[in-house]
Amino acid sequence: MSSCTVPGCPRTTDEDTRRRMCPRCARQLQALLRELVGQMPILQASLQLDRSPTTGSVHGGRAHSPMPVRGDVLTLLGPGSNTTLSDPYGDTRGDQTGPPSLDQILRGWAEATAEHTRLAPTPWRRPGQTWAEWLAAYLPWILGAPWAGDFHQELGELVGRVRAITRTEPRRRPLDAPCPSCEAFGLVEEDWQPYVECTVCELLLTPDEYTAHARRVMPRLYRTALLLAAQQHQESA
Ligand SMILES: [Zn+2]
Ligand SMILES: [Zn+2]
């Protein structure tokens, strides 16, 4: 057992694994990658500034003036992302100055993962696969990498920047059934999280396990609630 390598986390890793982070941070990392995959289309849709009727035609001249785009989104998406054509300059992108794009940052982590696993000299993506999806598929290996804590931290910052642009935060919903372990009404499900979690005793259930549990206990709870209501009604009558 050793300490979790995610900066600021006071927990320890599981005894029987070679993971460099605690189970909670590992689940958070999985959720961050899932969220990034889900956020990409919203981020891309945020690229163009809202069109107002006066935009683009004030100075006349060009029939097709370029659409104004958001600089902060363009920085994240990288050059060439404001066109649907493929990048004509291809590999010369490395010459660009300025902050690295999301794709470049994730590709860097994918290269580090490929090196760590020694599975392949360079990471290979299926056509259409994003780097976030690629990294999610390699999560079990990433958790054992010496830089796993740094990856968690950088990904958290990236997702924070994306959320600020798309104005979406993960939502947390309380669930109806009580926790099967501590019996408290503390079970919640949260966007992108792989598990239902008890906020009181930290028990984890898969969504299927929760559904099966709720099917078992909810009818009894409803009956009890009905009986109680009927009893109160009689007493007050
Ligand atoms: Zn941790
Ligand atoms: Zn509980």
Beta strands in the chain (DSSP E): 172-174, 187-190, 196-198, 204-205
Task: Give 188 or 77, the one with higher predicted confidence.
Answer: 188
Rounded to the nearest 5°, which phi and psi values hold at 52? Answer: -115, 155
Rg, Å, the chain Cα set: 24
Ligand 1: centre distance to CA 26 (Å): 7
Ligand 1: centre distance to CA 14 (Å): 10
pLDDT band at 221 (very low <50, low <70, confident <90, very high): confident
The rounded percent of the chain whose pLDDT value lies above 90 is: 56
CB 24 within 8 A of CB 11: yes
Ligand 2: centre distance to CA 8 (Å): 25
Ligand 1: centre distance to CA 139 (Å): 15
pLDDT score of 15: 78
- Rounded-to-integer distance, Cα 229 and Cα 101, Å: 59
Ligand 1: centre distance to CA 11 (Å): 5
Sequence spans of domains, the chain: 23-52+63-169, 173-236
For the cut 70, the answer to whether the pLDDT of residue 193 exceeds it is: yes
What's the token pair of residue 41?
Answer: 């289309």
CB 23 within 8 A of CB 129: no
Query: What does the mean pLDDT of the chain come to?
Result: 85
The amino acid that residue 129 corresponds to is Q
SS3 call for 80: coil
pTM of the shown model: 0.77
Helices and strands: H and E segment counts in the chain: 7, 4
CB 20 within 8 A of CB 29: no
Give the model confidence (pLDDT) of 126-160 as tens digits: 888 889 999 999 999 999 999 999 999 999 999 99
Ligand nearest to the CA of 11: 1
CB 190 within 8 A of CB 173: yes
**Closest to 38 (Cα-Cα) out of 151, 148, 190, 153:** 190
The amino acid that residue 57 corresponds to is S
- Rounded-to-integer distance, Cα 175 and Cα 196, Å: 9
What's the token pair of residue 121?
Answer: 């000299």
Give the model confidence (pLDDT) of 71-87 as tens digits: 889 889 887 665 544 44
Ligand nearest to the CA of 22: 1
Ligand 1: centre distance to CA 149 (Å): 8
pLDDT band at 30 (very low <50, low <70, confident <90, very high): very high
Ligand 2: centre distance to CA 181 (Å): 5
Ligand 1: centre distance to CA 8 (Å): 8
